[in-house]
Amino acid sequence: MRKYNPVTDVTVNALKAVLGEKNVTTDPDKMHPYSHDEVADTRYQRLPEVVVLPENTAQVAAVLKIANEQMIPVVPRGGGTGLACGAVPMYGGIVVSLEKMNKILEINAESLYMIVQAGVRTDEVQKQAAKAGLFYAGDPCSSDSCFIGGNVATNAGGNRAIKYGVTRNQIYSIEVVTPKGDITTLGGRLKKNSTGYCLEQLFIGSEGTLGIITTITLKLTPLPKAVMDFLVVFPTPELAIDMVGHMNRAGIQATCIEFMENAAVKSVEKYLKEKLPQGESGNYLIIQVEANNEEQLDEIAAQVDELCSEKGATAVLVPDAEKIWKVRKSIAEAVRHEDMIYSSEDIVVPIDRLSATLEEMNRICVKHGAASRTVAHAGDGNIHLMILKAGNTLEEWPEKLAAIQQEIFDYVYDIGGKLSGEHGIGYKKKTLMAKYTDPVELEIMRAIKKALDPNNILNPGKIFDLD
């Protein structure tokens, strides 16, 4: 890792001259919230040297120019809900929080798009689109606290990816500030484009290592006319998971297929202090379907009911939608309530390997005396495995966890899976990234980073190391 200069009075004064006194802080109490994301492990916390709150793109650009001149690392930050320590300033320096760039600049119902600044909360994007009778399809479970810019930077997935795709599929164009402090707009409000490299897609999902995203033009659609959510209960995780393939083969297009294995259901029951349907042994699928009218919805609902019952469901319920989604979205808090020491994995595998992967993951965790809680965006093969220390001591846990991860990822990569389906690599998973990624692929990524950020000042040490 290259040597950076510390932030000095000279740096702080230069930042204040550009951003104004009120948008620059070095007060440790005020900076503390910026020292971590949603990863609870304190080994991954680090206080920034200065936090800046730009109000426009020109200010972001000026910060990057100062950082290059003075060789100081810069870390972009959205809502801080990341699960890979991507927004944590592991090498100190300047944190650029986009929280004040939180305006919706345009909602165009005629041409179905929305222009937003990067610091708008994702559920605000959804709500304001809905107010205009429109639909923003991106829907990470953290939508009430993450920012749209963070979603773009991580290429967030979420609940509706099977039907609508992930964040990269919702975007027409982005305005970015490059690591050197230049401003450019990539992409366009176009249905197709073969004009050179598709650079907007390179920046989407680059976890704040290639540029700071400041403004985004999002695609919208008309609001779905009729929606129904099912809670389907199965006696085994495998029967539940196998429904994804059954539904695909039957041609039933779900909007969401979310899985919660029984240990996760029980964890949420305890956390919410609420009895859930067949909570003692049931494995859940939350299935959402949409249609153009009520008649069509009834037809799809009958198909789902029949297929799930035929494939072993013990209950096909139409619950209060808000309530059942609260159950699904409470899992992270519920597990944290059980034990602060756990590792959250974000494995993605081919759909036809989901069931076998679950079985293998459970076997490996049990073998090492760890506990597991598993939920999945099952429709897109994305498993969130939370590995709890359980009977292991604090001293032996890091080594045990490394052994568990190695066995699991050896298996996952053998069957064509990957480390992360949606949370990204950040700082936390870069060792695993180095271990499991093809060296040629890694070298291409490094070459791109070096070309765009010759001083390696933008979010250094994230995704991979340069040397």
Ligand X SMILES: Cc1cc2nc3c(=O)[nH]c(=O)nc-3n(C[C@H](O)[C@H](O)[C@H](O)COP(=O)(O)OP(=O)(O)OC[C@H]3O[C@@H](n4cnc5c(N)ncnc54)[C@H](O)[C@@H]3O)c2cc1C
Which residues contact ligand X (rule: CB under 6 A)?
Answer: 37-38, 75-83, 86-87, 98, 118, 140-142, 146-147, 149-151, 153-154, 156-158, 207-208, 212-213, 332, 422-423, 426, 459, 462
Report whether 424 contacts 81 (CB < 8 A): no
Side chain identity at residue 326, one-letter code: K
Closer residue to ligand X in complex, CB, 37/229: 37
Smallest gap from Cβ 403 to ligand X, in A, equals 26
Report whether 318 contacts 226 (CB < 8 A): no
Closer residue to ligand X in complex, CB, 308/422: 422
Length of the chain: 467
Smallest gap from Cβ 332 to ligand X, in A, equals 4
Closer residue to ligand X in complex, CB, 156/304: 156
CA–CA separation, 201 vs 186, rounded Å?
9
Closer residue to ligand X in complex, CB, 336/435: 336
Closer residue to ligand X in complex, CB, 146/371: 146
Select from 262, 395, 402, 391 the least CA-distant residue to 343: 402
- H, E, C per residue of 78-104: CCCCCCCCCCCCCCCCEEEECCCCCCE
Smallest gap from Cβ 45 to ligand X, in A, equals 14
CA–CA separation, 171 vs 296, rounded Å?
29
- Residue 100 buriedness (CB in 10 A; 0-12 / 13-18 / 19+): middle
Closer residue to ligand X in complex, CB, 80/417: 80
Closer residue to ligand X in complex, CB, 258/290: 258
Smallest gap from Cβ 118 to ligand X, in A, equals 4
Closest residue to ligand X using C-beta atoms: 150
Smallest gap from Cβ 429 to ligand X, in A, equals 12
Smallest gap from Cβ 4 to ligand X, in A, equals 17
CA–CA separation, 380 vs 348, rounded Å?
8
CA–CA separation, 205 vs 201, rounded Å?
8
* 3-state percent breakdown (helix, strand, coil) of the chain, nearest 5: 40, 20, 40
Smallest gap from Cβ 95 to ligand X, in A, equals 9
